[in-house]
Amino acid sequence: MRKFFSSENWLFYLKHPAVRWNVVYLLVVTIISLVLAFTFNWLAGLVVLVLAVVGMTVSLRRLRQLVDDTHEYLQNLTYQIQHGQQEALLEMPVGMIMLNARNEIEWINPYMARYFKLEHVVGEKVSAVDEQLADLIDQGRSHPGAQVVSWRSRQFEFLFQPQYRVAYLLDITKYEEVEQRYRQERVFLGNIYLDNYDELIQGMSDSDVSNLHNYVTSEISKWAETNHLLMKIIDDDNYLIIGHQASLAELEKKKFKILDTVRQSTSQQNSPVTLSVGIAYGEDDLIKLADTAQDNLDLALGRGGDQVVVRAKDQPARFYGGKTNPMEKRTRVRARMISQALQELIDQADQLFVMGHNNPDMDSLGACLGIRRIAEMNGKQCWIVISDQHPHADIQRLMHEIDNYQSIKDHIITPDVALEKATANSLLVMVDHAKRSITISPELYDQLQNRLVIIDHHRRGEEFPENPLLVYIEPYASSTCELITEMFEYQPREGEGLNKVEATAMLTGIQVDTKSFTKSAGTRTFDAASYLRSAGADGMMIQSFMKEDPRSFMDRNHLISRAQIKGQIAICAGENDQVYGSVTTAQAADMLLSVEGVEASFVITLRADGKVGISARSAGDVNVQVLMEKMGGGGHLANAATQISDSTVEAATKELIELLQKTADNSSQEDTEE
């Protein structure tokens, strides 16, 4: 009891606020109870006093015991936490390195010491212990945040805290291996199509057809088995392949040699077969994967076939092959079907708009005139959209000749007028191109992109409209004018046919694109030219259109004089500040190709719009289309071009030379591997 009433005991109660207020409350209640009890009866007050003393004693002791227990618990908890922290630093599977201000190691935990093979490193500079680790720490200072790094042949998640000078390394090698295995074992799907199978088997005996099909199937089957692929025959000219992405990486490394194997071996049998392959990957939904694979196959076919297109959805495509020019088709079935489909679209439209590419040439404008005539033969108005830019001399002469044909002149409008006339039911026809970036009126394209028809003879590129109503792309054709000329045979006979200037413009377009029927001219090219001649095409008018002005003639010769021939490649670069016309540049590239020993020519000049233009030509062995695509352009295997913004002639020439060197090095490496 004496201890209970000691000053030390009461100081304890007064020190703790929560206990203090409980004691005050109990004392106040007790005093009030005693006063009331003694007021009522001294005997009752005495009883209450005894009970109060006993209750206060028990309550205060319990409070003291509760506080002591809580204090002891907190002390034990603090000790356990501190002990746990120490154990965690020593035992947790995360490497820790503490540095001082002099970049010396002050402490490392045992887990980290294992990577130093228990060597004594404390007190040593990081750079002296491990230069690679020192570099990682320096990078962590400049790039805060966790990052995955490779150190000592393992993968780590690395974090450096500059304010504490502490580095953390978490070994995630196992998880990286699992992720890598997941990526390698993801499924890819591919479609293989025999480009010209139907044309080849026409006229062949059943046994020859069977032998050819069995041989091609056997080669594809062996190739699939060697590369761990599942191959299934879908049709006589269509195959399905399924494999893992690890196998796809190997196929890309080998550049899909199956293309060359089939083409070369069947050519020796006088039945050259080429393959087009569309491969899709990176998608978990097999239906979407199949759709993407089909889109890639369509892209390969649109580019002329004999190539592989590898692409994941919404990612840039990778192209392999494309070493041969597309073969000319022997039937006109597709031309008839396209013509009939175009007629149906014309009937459903209230009016047509047709436009070519920027800086139009004779093939582009001639095709526009042909489409306008087809629309008129079907009873619909067609407006030819031409910009106000200064055209080349041949286009100026053609426009001057059109002034004598009021019905045509009245249907030539500017892009601004076309935007005002266009309605939701109008039909837009893009000829001689399929890219929004080079069309005459991108705004008109945006307005009518859901009512779009594309007619072109260039290989299909990645920049392609999403949902055109009708696509007629035939890379085998010499020109767009050839494709459109073939449609006239299936148009209504009661309408007025081509007039003299239209036929002449279209024949000029064919003549320009075929270099006077010496390049890319097949039997159907001459058939189209014959039809246009019978429709009134004038040879003298063609000559007048094609005459050069003295300035262009001198510019072309000046460009050629600057050419440098390195091996089989001719490169000609104009001056950085001298503007050359696109036609002049193209003509210079054509003339350089006529030099003995030159297999490919490249002419780089400054254009009037401030861009740097490159015209590329090939005799067939060098695929200039692939080269120009890598520089942002496109075209054909033997005829391609590009325009580069924000560059100079000198810089573009250097970039081209580096690309040619890289391509040559890759070709040499492939030959060595073979």
Least-confidence region, from 458-462, 515-519, 637-641, 659-663 = 458-462
Fill in the amino acid letter for 389: Q
Average pLDDT score over residue span 24-45:
74
Q: Which of 279, 641, 295 is nearest to 465 (CA)?
A: 295
Cα–Cα distance, 564 to 577 (Å, whole number): 19
The residues near 416 (Cβ < 8 Å, ≥ 6 apart) are none
Q: In this predicted model, which residue has the larger pLDDT, 409 or 117?
A: 409
What is the token pair recorded at 314?
């919404």
User: Tokens 């159907």 belong to which residue?
Assistant: 524
Q: For the structural domain made of 187-321, what CATH number should be given?
A: 3.30.70.270
pLDDT grade for 23, boundaries at 50, 70 and 90 = low
Average pLDDT score over residue span 163-179:
88
What's the pLDDT score for residue 20? 65
Check pLDDT > 90 for residue 481. Answer: yes
What is the token pair recorded at 395?
């286009």
Average pLDDT score over residue span 384-406:
87
**Other beta carbons less than 10 A from residue 312's beta carbon:** 17
Taking the alpha carbons of 411, 412, 416, 422 in that order, is the dihedral positive or negative?
A: positive
Class of domain 92-177: alpha beta
**Sequence ranges of the chain with CATH classification 3.90.1640.10:** 333-546
pLDDT grade for 402, boundaries at 50, 70 and 90 = very high
Average pLDDT score over residue span 99-124:
84
What's the pLDDT score for residue 187? 94
State the distance between the two ends of the chain, measured CA to CA, in whole angstroms.
105
What's the pLDDT score for residue 1? 44
Check pLDDT > 70 for residue 163. Answer: yes
> In CATH terms, is domain 333-546 a member of 3.90.1640.10?
yes
pLDDT grade for 85, boundaries at 50, 70 and 90 = low
What's the pLDDT score for residue 329? 54
Q: How far is CA 257 from the centre of its chain?
A: 24
Q: In this predicted model, which residue has the larger pLDDT, 622 or 49?
A: 622
Cα–Cα distance, 477 to 338 (Å, whole number): 15
What's the pLDDT score for residue 234? 92
Q: What is the CA radius of gyration of the chain?
A: 41
pLDDT grade for 669, boundaries at 50, 70 and 90 = low
Check pLDDT > 80 for residue 567. Answer: yes
Average pLDDT score over residue span 38-47:
74
Cα–Cα distance, 484 to 360 (Å, whole number): 17
440 neighbors 365 (Cβ within 8 angstroms): no
Sheet strands side by side (includes 307-312) = 230-235, 238-244, 187-194, 275-281, 307-312, 318-321
Q: What is the mean pLDDT of the chain?
A: 84
Least-confidence region, from 325-329, 545-549, 648-652 = 325-329
pLDDT grade for 365, boundaries at 50, 70 and 90 = very high
Q: Identify the three-state secondary structure at position 318.
A: strand
Average pLDDT score over residue span 94-112:
87
Share of the chain above pLDDT 90, in %: 34
Nearest-10 crossing angle of helices 393-402, 500-513: 170
Give the H/E segment covering residue 252: helix 245-253
Check pLDDT > 50 for residue 74. Answer: yes
**Sequence ranges of the chain with CATH classification 3.10.310.30:** 557-673
What's the pLDDT score for residue 79? 57
Q: For the structural domain made of 557-673, what CATH number should be given?
A: 3.10.310.30
**Other beta carbons less than 10 A from residue 575's beta carbon:** 14
- What is the pTM assigned to this prediction? 0.61
DSSP E strand stretches across 147-294: 147-151, 154-161, 166-171, 187-194, 230-235, 238-244, 275-281
What's the pLDDT score for residue 394? 85
Q: Which of 293, 279, 295, 582 is nearest to 464 (CA)?
A: 295
**Ranges of H-type helices in 274-360:** 286-302, 333-348
Check pLDDT > 70 for residue 118. Answer: no
Average pLDDT score over residue span 227-234:
93
- The Cβ-side half-sphere exposure at 86, using a 13 Å CA radius, reads 6
**Sequence ranges of the chain with CATH classification 3.30.70.270:** 187-321
User: Tokens 């004999």 belong to which residue?
Assistant: 306
pLDDT digits (tens, 9 = 90+) for 602-642: 999 998 888 999 999 988 778 888 888 888 887 777 788 89
Check pLDDT > 80 for residue 428. Answer: yes
What's the pLDDT score for residue 19? 62
